[in-house]
């Protein structure tokens, strides 16, 4: 009998080993393990969210993907994290119980959550979690727009993430290197890659982002060429792509779901549908990272709290006047700064409102108690 016991233990540990190897392939590490250990619920196993279709989730532990549902408490409790692509979760059978704390997340202001066009969004949308790099993908066709790249880069930095800019469809431009140089002028220190998915050029340089255990995601407009790039890097058509309607240069919606793809290089890519509205969400000061040139001149402004709009002795304005900074770049900076300011203000306001409501509730309670006491004294 004793031999079978030993064998069972052995199979057990082989099983655990295999599970662990599968998880590590998906990016599992000591940080997540520590979170799991702290929960102390040995019956719940970790898994990663590798597919999101509305409220249906696909999870993986490194082997066969499985469909999963979400425990009711995640739906109803606004304080609970709700799973997104790239999240690590605990599951009991095929029910997602908890979302483990995220290392980071790509977050934006939810589309349609701002009342007027210029208003700060009132809700956030988590696009993907636990990322190593975010590819900002921009096609060198009509999609190309420096200001939009600035906005994406700020969004990425604002989330505490590292961007890399992928200029794709290089085959469609007569002087792609000149465009790359322009981008260099607005994205200091951000890796810039010129690629053509069609001609398969520039792909090899991207592979260092895809080494084992790493996760990247791609953002960019619909039709930018994200899914095509993913397919090329994969070496097969794993994602569907769409033709751009030539009349308006805008792509059709082809990717409506989010999938985490295990790449042959060892890393993982989360494909995203095109984002039409790139609203920022409050976070780290993304503009400081995205506009180091302006921040550099700002140190020499006469006033330490200079807004670089109209103050005397503003070194930033001077830099614009003598051509050290492009006027459009400063406009873009002001615009993004203003957005972040309104976001912060909105959050401050809603915090104050919660506080106020809290005290109102207490005042009501006190009144109620007083009333009861009075009644008690009378009766
Ligand atoms: N000429 C050219 N066309 C491309 C390239 N990459 C993508 N496309 C085309 O651009 C369109 C949109 O591509 P897709 O990958 O679906 O864009 P997504 O919406 O960002 O995923 C498709 O018709 C692709 O064939 C490229 O490198 N060169
Ligand atoms: Mg796509
Ligand atoms: Zn100034």
State whether the beta carbon of 103 lies less than 6 angstroms from ligand 1. Answer: no
Please name every residue paired with 92 in a beta bridge, in sequence order, or none if there are none.
95
- pLDDT tens per residue, range 209-225: 999 999 999 999 989 99
C-alpha 377, offset from chain centre: 61
Confidence of residue 379 (pLDDT cuts 50, 70, 90): very low
pLDDT for res 242: 77
Confidence of residue 251 (pLDDT cuts 50, 70, 90): very low
Average pLDDT over residues 89-105: 95
Residue 168 has pLDDT above 60, yes or no: yes
User: Among 176-190, 273-287, 328-342, whose mean pLDDT is lowest?
Assistant: 273-287
Confidence of residue 246 (pLDDT cuts 50, 70, 90): very low
Report the half-sphere exposure of 192 (CA within 13 A, side-chain side): 22
Two tokens, residue 32? 């997540």
State whether the beta carbon of 222 lies less than 6 angstroms from ligand 1. Answer: yes
Phi, psi of 325 (to 5 degrees): -130, 140
Residue 208 has pLDDT above 60, yes or no: yes
59 contacts 45 by C-beta, under 8 angstroms? no
Mutate to test the pocket of ligand 1, among 135, 136, 139, 276 (most ligand atoms within 8 A of CB): 139
Residue 50 has pLDDT above 90, yes or no: yes
Angle, CA 315 vertex, CA 309 and CA 320 arms, to 5° = 70
What is the chain's mean pLDDT, rounded?
87
Report the half-sphere exposure of 372 (CA within 13 A, side-chain side): 6
State whether the beta carbon of 269 lies less than 6 angstroms from ligand 1. Answer: no
Residue of 167 and 54 predicted with greater confidence: 167
Please give the share of the chain, as a percent, with pLDDT higher than 90: 59
**Gap from CA of 334 to ligand 3 centroid (Å):** 12
Mutate to test the pocket of ligand 1, among 241, 245, 247 (most ligand atoms within 8 A of CB): 241
Residue with CA nearest ligand 1 atom 23: 243
- Cα–Cα distance, 8 to 23 (Å, whole number): 22
Residue with CA nearest ligand 1 atom 28: 169
**Gap from CA of 236 to ligand 2 centroid (Å):** 15
State whether the beta carbon of 296 lies less than 6 angstroms from ligand 1. Answer: no
- pLDDT tens per residue, range 26-35: 999 999 999 9
State whether the beta carbon of 209 lies less than 6 angstroms from ligand 1. Answer: no
**Gap from CA of 281 to ligand 3 centroid (Å):** 25
pLDDT for res 342: 77
Residue with CA nearest ligand 1 atom 4: 169
pLDDT for res 189: 87
Residue of 325 and 4 predicted with greater confidence: 325
pLDDT for res 200: 95
- pLDDT tens per residue, range 275-318: 767 778 877 778 888 999 999 999 999 999 999 998 999 999 99
CA distances from 66 to 27, 96, 104, 144, 208 (A): 18, 12, 25, 39, 29
Confidence of residue 66 (pLDDT cuts 50, 70, 90): very high
Confidence of residue 371 (pLDDT cuts 50, 70, 90): confident
Residue with CA nearest ligand 1 atom 25: 243
State whether the beta carbon of 241 lies less than 6 angstroms from ligand 1. Answer: yes
Please give the share of the chain, as a percent, with pLDDT higher than 70: 88
Map out the domains of the chain with their CATH numbers: 2-99 (2.30.30.140), 107-271 (3.40.50.300)
- Cα–Cα distance, 315 to 296 (Å, whole number): 10
State whether the beta carbon of 168 lies less than 6 angstroms from ligand 1. Answer: yes
**Gap from CA of 244 to ligand 3 centroid (Å):** 43
């Amino acid at each position: 009998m004793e031999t079978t016991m030993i064998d069972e233990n052995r199979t057990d540990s082989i099983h655990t080993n295999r599970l662990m190897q599968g998880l590590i392939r998906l990016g599992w590490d000591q940080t997540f393990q520590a979170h799991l250990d702290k929960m102390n619920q040995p019956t719940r196993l970790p898994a990663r969210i590798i597919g999101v279709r509305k409220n249906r989730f696909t999870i993986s532990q490194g082997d066969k993907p499985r469909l999963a549902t979400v425990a009711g408490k995640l739906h109803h409790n606004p304080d609970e994290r709700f799973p997104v692509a790239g999240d690590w979760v605990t599951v009991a059978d095929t029910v997602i119980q908890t979302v483990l704390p995220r290392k980071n997340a790509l977050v934006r202001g939810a589309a349609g959550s701002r009342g007027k066009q210029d208003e700060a969004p009132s809700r956030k949308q988590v696009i993907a979690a636990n990322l190593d790099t975010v590819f900002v993908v921009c096609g060198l066709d009509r999609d190309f727009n420096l200001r939009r790249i600035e906005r994406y880069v700020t969004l990425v930095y604002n989330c505490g993430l590292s961007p890399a800019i992928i200029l794709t469809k290089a085959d469609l431009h007569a002087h792609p290197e000149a465009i790359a140089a322009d981008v260099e002028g607005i994205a200091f220190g951000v890796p810039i890659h010129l690629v053509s998915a069609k001609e398969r050029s520039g792909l090899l340089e991207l592979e260092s982002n895809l080494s084992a255990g790493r996760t990247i995601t791609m953002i960019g407009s619909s039709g930018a060429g994200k899914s095509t790039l993913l397919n090329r890097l994969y070496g097969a058509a794993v994602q569907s792509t769409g033709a751009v309607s030539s009349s308006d240069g805008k792509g059709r919606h082809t990717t409506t779901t989010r999938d985490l793809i295990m790449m042959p290089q060892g890393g993982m890519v989360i494909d995203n549908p095109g984002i039409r509205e790139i609203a920022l969400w409050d976070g780290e000061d993304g503009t400081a990272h995205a506009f180091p040139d302006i921040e550099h001149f700002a140190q020499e402004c006469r006033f330490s709290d200079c807004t670089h709009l109209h103050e005397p002795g503003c070194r930033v304005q001077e830099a614009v006047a003598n051509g050290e900074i492009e006027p459009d770049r400063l406009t873009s900076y002001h615009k993004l700064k203003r957005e972040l300011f309104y976001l912060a203000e909105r959050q401050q306001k809603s915090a104050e409102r919660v506080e106020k409501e809290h005290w109102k509730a207490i005042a009501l309670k006190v009144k109620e108690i007083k009333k009861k006491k009075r009644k008690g004294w009378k009766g």
